[in-house]
């Protein structure tokens, strides 16, 4: 937008917010609730304009999906923080230092806002990846600057207009621009920086933040696997995987990327995936319920992954109409299921982030666990099955940001549980009390009692032999 800050203006905006934060002093629960309520009111008022903008940015994203995923998803995070933050604010009493606690010394932890938080969102969920973390940021008493993705410029412009209507720039502001502004954004001395996007860009964000020792929260996605145990209801698993993969045409950070199923059940699961996905989308090219791939670059990227796997001998099966597979005009793809592609193929190496899925078979679930543990830790892991012992084995011997059992893509909707990654899929989290803690400084405080016994106990120089012997006697297992 024309009124978005220039590069020098970005630094001035940050300084303005930091100055206002220092002048404000302690941020009351009422102020935090008021700010959260203002974001809620903003979304309610501008939801139609924002959904329209998201639809235009995608070239036809269904309004109902934008409403469900970005508007209602953000509202749920904001309302949960609004309704629960008072329970998170209280000081946390801690045991004091012995033996001074016998003389009235006390200790506690005080949770204080860090200051100004920069939040960089992504194009696939252009509101949720900004406003859901903002709910935790505001609950913790901070101010914020939002940087929407330039790949969704209409949504970014609509959001900037809405925010400017409801907030002064020293509390919440939006800055819009391309890669140059994004790089400069990451280099600013924020009190905390949030980024949602690819692992590759996440590394650059973290490197830039390190120059200012800025703490970061990174939500980076990854190749989220599905393990289908032999005890699973195969048709139920097929339906839930198909529904999860259909969401935003696979353009979600927790979308299932590869499915592992026992050799004896592979054919049944494949047939079920085809049946249920085709039931959702019997045609693709003219289907307004299908989210298009966001742009031609990503469309070509997904096509290249499938073509590369096929050229290497992998079988490719289509779910939904295949007639529009190459229809660049609509960018609506059917689901392509790629069966057992080579480990070095592009679709095996990169997050798909689109309507394609890898299907692999196994004979021993232990081999699946070993294979997954050799790769980067994903943002999500999914297990289907009724075998409690096998489920425990999967949970105990793998690590991922979060898990859904007997379903996919559901755990991010837990508002009182942390959402975030681990390793290559990110660090830190938001949602619930853990999100409040993420953007708070836990400040340890010690308060001395009325009497200090150290001198009379010989604990101060010059040390006597009795005190030395007491110290030596305290060194014990």
| Residues designated catalytic | 219, 253
Measure the CA–CA gap between 37 and 172, rounded to whole angstroms.
13
What is each CA distance from 25 to 189, 266, 430, in whole angstroms?
20, 61, 24
Measure the CA–CA gap between 445 and 439, rounded to whole angstroms.
19
Cis status, amide bond into 462, omega within 30 of 0: yes
Measure the CA–CA gap between 416 and 419, rounded to whole angstroms.
9
Residue 149's nearest CA partner among 188, 173, 177 is 177
**Residues 348, 360 contacting (CB under 8 angstroms):** no
Could you write out the DSSP letters of every residue in 349-364? HS---SSEEEEEEES-
Residues of the chain by 3-state class (helix, strand, coil), percent to 5 = 45, 15, 35
Burial 125-148 (b: 16+ CB within 10 A, else e): bbbbbbbbbbbbbbbbbbbbbbbb
Measure the CA–CA gap between 424 and 220, rounded to whole angstroms.
7
Q: Cα torsion for 63, 67, 70, 76, to the nearest 10°? A: -170
């Amino acid at each position: 937008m024309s009124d978005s800050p220039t590069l020098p203006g970005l630094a001035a905006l940050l300084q303005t917010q930091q100055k206002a934060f220092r002048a404000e002093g302690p941020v009351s629960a009422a102020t935090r609730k008021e700010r959260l309520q203002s974001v809620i009111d903003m979304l309610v008022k501008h939801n139609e304009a924002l959904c329209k903008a998201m639809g235009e940015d995608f070239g036809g994203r269904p309004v109902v999906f934008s409403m469900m995923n970005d508007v209602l998803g953000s509202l749920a995070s904001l309302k949960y923080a609004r309704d629960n933050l008072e329970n998170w604010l209280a000081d946390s009493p801690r045991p004091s230092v012995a033996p001074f606690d016998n003389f009235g010394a006390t200790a506690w932890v005080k949770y204080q806002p860090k200051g100004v938080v920069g939040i960089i969102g992504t194009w696939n969920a252009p509101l949720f990846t900004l406003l859901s973390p903002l709910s935790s940021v505001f609950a913790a008493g901070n101010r914020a600057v939002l940087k929407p993705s330039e790949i969704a410029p209409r949504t970014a412009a609509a959001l900037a207009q809405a925010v400017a209507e409801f907030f002064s720039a020293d509390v919440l502001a939006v800055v819009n621009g391309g890669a140059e502004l994004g790089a400069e954004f990451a280099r600013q001395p924020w009190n905390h920086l949030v980024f949602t996007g690819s692992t590759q860009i996440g590394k650059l964000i973290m490197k830039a933040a390190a120059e200012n020792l800025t703490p970061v929260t990174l939500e980076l996605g990854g190749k989220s696997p599905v393990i289908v145990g032999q005890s699973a209801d195969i048709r139920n698993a097929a339906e839930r995987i198909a529904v999860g993969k259909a969401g935003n045409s696979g353009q979600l950070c927790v979308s299932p990327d590869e499915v592992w199923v026992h050799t004896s059940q592979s054919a049944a699961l494949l047939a079920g995936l085809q049946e249920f996905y085709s039931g959702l989308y019997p045609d693709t090219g003219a289907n307004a319920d299908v989210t298009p791939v966001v742009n031609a670059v990503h469309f070509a990227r997904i096509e290249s992954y499938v073509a590369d796997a096929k050229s290497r001998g992998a079988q490719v099966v289509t779910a939904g109409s295949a007639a529009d597979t190459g229809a660049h005009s609509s960018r609506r793809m059917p689901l392509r299921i790629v069966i057992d592609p080579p480990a070095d193929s592009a679709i095996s190496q990169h997050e798909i982030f689109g309507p394609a899925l890898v299907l692999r078979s196994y004979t021993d679930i232990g081999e699946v666990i070993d294979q997954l543990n050799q790769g980067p830790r994903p943002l999500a892991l999914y297990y289907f099955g009724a075998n409690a012992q096998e489920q425990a084995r999967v949970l105990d011997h793998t690590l991922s940001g979060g898990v859904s059992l007997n379903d996919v893509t559901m755990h991010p909707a837990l508002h009182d549980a942390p959402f975030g990654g681990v390793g290559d899929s990110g660090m830190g989290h938001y949602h619930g009390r853990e999100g409040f803690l993420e953007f708070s400084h836990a400040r340890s405080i010690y308060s001395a009692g009325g009497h200090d016994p150290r001198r009379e106990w010989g604990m101060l120089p010059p040390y006597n032999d009795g005190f030395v012997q007491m110290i030596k006697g305290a060194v014990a297992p």
